[in-house]
Amino acid sequence: DAKTTQPPSMDCAEGRAANLPCNHSTISGNEYVYWYRQIHSQGPQYIIHGLKNNETNEMASLIITEDRKSSTLILPHATLRDTAVYYCIVRVGHSGYSTLTFGKGTMLLVSP
């Protein structure tokens, strides 16, 4: 699976949008971009995934550049409960069979 690069930490004010970047310049055509997050003392939680098109669900939006070399996870109205480590992962296919390879992620701190 392709490697990803994320900033180690980011800050965001409560109620504002949090934009978390991820670089995956060596991504292959059959690799999907996944985002998970891990709140303190909990296991990772799936957020969203995409291949080429932008995606949105109840938790977040995923913007993937046209060349697919980078992406941005957007939390439109961050709350204190969004404070967590966010992992950007690229993986072949999207079945449960392919491995999730976690990096160190981005520690997002949402402040009042």
Partner 1 sequence: EAGVVQSPRYKIIEKKQPVAFWCNPISGHNTLYWYLQNLGQGPELLIRYENEEAVDDSQLPKDRFSAERLKGVDSTLKIQPAELGDSAVYLCASSLDGAVGGEQYFGPGTRLTVT
Query: Binding residues for partner 1, per CB under 8 A?
Result: 41-46, 49, 85, 87, 93-105
Nearer to partner 1, 63 or 102 (CB): 102
Residue 19 CB, nearest distance to partner 1 (Å)? 21
In whole angstroms, the minimum distance from the beta carbon of 31 to partner 1 comes to 13
Pairing of strands 70-75, 9-13: unpaired
The Cα 112–Cα 110 span in angstroms is 7
| Smaller CB separation from partner 1, 41 or 53 | 41
Q: How many Å apart are CA 107 and CA 82, to the nearest integer?
A: 10
Smallest separation, CB 9 to partner 1 (Å): 12
Residue 79 has a CB neighbour count (10 Å cut-off) of 12
22 or 85: CB nearest partner 1: 85
Edge-to-edge order in the sheet of strand 45-50: 9-13, 106-111, 84-92, 31-38, 45-50
Q: Rounded to the nearest whole angstrom, what is the least distance from the CB of residue 83 to partner 1 in the complex?
A: 16
